[in-house]
Amino acid sequence: MSELRLDATQLDRYSRHVIMDEIGPEGQQRLLEGSVLVVGAGGLGSPAIQYLTAAGIGRLGIVDDDVVERSNLQRQIVHGDGDVDRPKVDSAADYVEALNPDVDVETHETRITAENVAELTSGYDIVLDASDNFGTRYLLNDHCVLTETPLSHGAIYRFEGQVTTFTNDRGDDEDPPCYRCIFPEAPEPGTVPDCATTGVLGVLPGTVGCIQATEVVKYLLGKGDLLEGRLLMYDAMGMTFESVDVLANPECPVCSDDPEIDSVEDVAYEGSCSISAD
**Which residues does the annotation mark as catalytic?**
195
Listed in sequence order, the residues at least 6 apart from 40 whose beta carbon sits closer than 8 Å to its beta carbon are: 63, 64, 129, 130, 131, 132, 136
Kind plus residue range of the DSSP H or E element containing 181: helix 179-182
Distance of alpha carbon 185 from the chain centroid: 20
Question: Which segments of 56-169 does DSSP mark as H helices, in order?
Answer: 88-99, 117-121, 134-147
| Cα–Cα dist 215/140, whole Å | 17
Residue 33: exposure state from Cβ atoms within 10 A (0-12, 13-18, ≥19) = middle
Pairing mode, strands 104-108 and 160-166: unpaired
| Cα–Cα dist 152/264, whole Å | 19
- For residue 119, how many other CB atoms are within 10 A of its CB? 10
| Cα–Cα dist 98/259, whole Å | 45
| Cα–Cα dist 170/150, whole Å | 11
Question: 3-state class of 52 per DSSP?
Answer: helix
| Cα–Cα dist 53/50, whole Å | 5
DSSP 158: B
DSSP 176: P
